[in-house]
Amino acid sequence: MAAEQLAKGGVAVDLYDSMPSVGRKFLMAGKGGLNLTHAEDTAKFVTRYEDRAPHLHLDAFGADALRAWAGELGIETFVGTSQRVFPKEMKAAPLLRAWLRRLRSQGVTFHMRHKWTGWEGDALTFANGATAKADVIVFALGGASWPQLGSDGAWTKQFDVAALKPANCGFDVAWSDYMKQHFAGAPVKPVVGRFGAHHRRGEFIVSENGVEGSLIYAFSAALRDEIARKGQATFLLDLAPHKTVAELARARGKASLSTHLRKRAGIDGVRAALVRELCTAEEIADDKKLAEKLKALPLKLLRPRPIAEAISTAGGIRFDNLTSDLMLKDKPGVFVAGEMLDWEAPTGGYLLTACFATGKAAGAGALKFLKR
């Protein structure tokens, strides 16, 4: 995106990438349909980035602008039932191919298998022994999730950064062997998750190590930070969102727990297993206590999953170290964009939108710098 701004401004652009081909993480995002952005009201949209929103240039390139940009490349988009925006073909490859054709027609030269390793004087150095000099530089090296696709976080050694942390990630849970063996991979739905003052309906997956999935990701930043403060976090699960405590607390009589859960609460399978896993024998034996647990089942999360497994990362180059154009204050002519910056957002198209917006802003800032 930065290269496009510079090329449109008549600048000769060389784009270096460590991988054999460009856009590998972008293509991975396309395996889920390529959720480009989100169609919710702009005022609500920017709240997803919390206090980082003013630094991300979303006012200049938000959801509507991104859809229009894709349309210029011949990619029609649509709004799904959850207000998420996707390409009509539900794939990333057609958009990437069209984009690369346009960039090449604008004169952008691509250099593959060039992993940046640092500086030699004012020259960039690469792992293959190559060097390069430029009048202006834009770095967009990603965070540290999915390192096999190129974003391994090695660049952090070269900059002053807030430590990278997993975002939109799963968490470890101390499951019993029975839970691991019989329910790893099982989806838990319908369920309402609650942490602090926030609650949300959705679903998640029991993994061998813990939990993952969209409902967990929605709370992951707050849960991660709670674990950092206190050593663990308790995520509350409402396994019967359509029932009240009073309805669930009616005497079960001689019915077995399985029968009671199925008939009274519509709970079976993995949700019933969670009840047995997370409730004490005393709570299971007491109808009222059990009903209360079904509406607020405490799931103890021990730690986030490793950063390499996360969908995205938090942390990075602090905005205090940057001008409003995303140029490093201590390195005139050097700009940064995307997940290298210290921000995070939930899934739902917000991540890609801010990466596009900061890429465009960094490219435009670099063009202005050259003109000055």
pLDDT digits (tens, 9 = 90+) for 330-351: 999 999 999 999 999 999 999 9
The pLDDT value recorded for residue 133 is: 97
Does residue 56 contact residue 357 with C-beta atoms inside 8 Å? Answer: yes
Residues 13 and 124 in one domain: yes
How large a percentage of the chain has pLDDT more than 70? 100
Mean pLDDT of the region 163-177: 98
| Contact indicator for 235, 195 with CB cutoff of 8 Å | yes
Exposed / middle / buried, residue 120 (Cβ in 10 Å: 0-12, 13-18, 19+): exposed
Q: Average pLDDT for residues 135-141, to the nearest whole number?
A: 98
Distances (CA, A) of 208 to 170, 183, 198: 11, 8, 27
- Residue 255 in this model has a pLDDT that exceeds 90: no
pLDDT band at 32 (very low <50, low <70, confident <90, very high): confident
Please state, in angstroms and rounded to a whole number, the distance separating the CA atoms of residues 339 and 342. 7
Is 213 in the same domain as 332? no
Say how far apart CA 232 and CA 304 lie, in whole Å: 10
Same domain, 281 and 327: no
Q: What is the pLDDT of residues 40-53, one digit of tens each?
A: 999 999 999 999 99
Question: Among residues 268, 286, 304, which one ends one of the domains?
Answer: 304
pLDDT in tens, 217-244: 999 999 999 999 999 999 999 999 999 9
The whole-chain average pLDDT of the chain stands at: 96
What would the mean pLDDT of 168-180 be, rounded to a whole number? 98
What was the pLDDT predicted at 39? 97
- What pLDDT shows up at residue 369? 98
Residue 261 sits in the same domain as residue 361: no
Which helix (H) or strand (E) segment is 125 a member of? strand 123-126
Domain that holds residue 346: 2-166+310-371
Q: Convert the pLDDT of each residue in 272-329 to its tens digit.
A: 999 999 999 999 999 999 999 999 999 999 999 999 999 999 999 999 999 999 999 9
Tell whether 50 and 159 lie within a shared domain: yes
Q: Do 157 and 177 have their domain in common?
A: no
Quick one: pLDDT at residue 187?
A: 97
Is 25's pLDDT higher than 90? yes
Residues 143 and 252 in one domain: no
Both tokens assigned to 166: 């997993």
Specify whether 82 is located in the same domain as 228: no
98 pLDDT more than 90: yes
Domain identity same for 183 and 161: no
Verify that 128 and 13 share a domain, yes or no. Answer: yes
- Number of structural domains the chain divides into: 2
Q: Which ranges of 92-170 does DSSP label H, i.e. alpha helix?
A: 93-105
- Is the bond preceding residue 346 a cis peptide, omega within 30 degrees? no
State the CATH number of the domain containing residue 330.
3.50.50.60
For residue 112, name the pLDDT band (cuts at 50, 70, 90): very high
* pLDDT tens, position by position, 348-365: 999 999 999 999 999 999
* 229 and 347 part of one domain: no
Q: How confident is the model at residue 254 (pLDDT cuts 50, 70, 90)?
A: confident
pLDDT more than 90, % of the chain: 96
Take residue 142 and report the two structure tokens written for it.
């990603």
pLDDT above 90: residue 251: no
Which of 304, 326, 357 is the C-terminal boundary of a domain? 304
pLDDT of 3 higher than 90: yes
203/247 same-domain check: yes
User: In 3D, which of 360, 6, 40, 344 has the Cα closest to residue 166?
Assistant: 344
Residue 226 pLDDT: 98
Segment among 77-81, 132-136, 262-266 with least mean pLDDT = 262-266
CB 76 within 8 A of CB 87: yes
Q: Answer whether the bond into residue 190 is a cis peptide, omega within 30°.
A: yes
Q: Does residue 37 surpass a pLDDT of 90?
A: yes
Given 304, 322, 346, the domain boundary residue is 304
Q: What is the mean pLDDT of residues 93-101?
A: 97
d(CA 2, CA 46): 22
Segment 144-159 mean pLDDT? 96
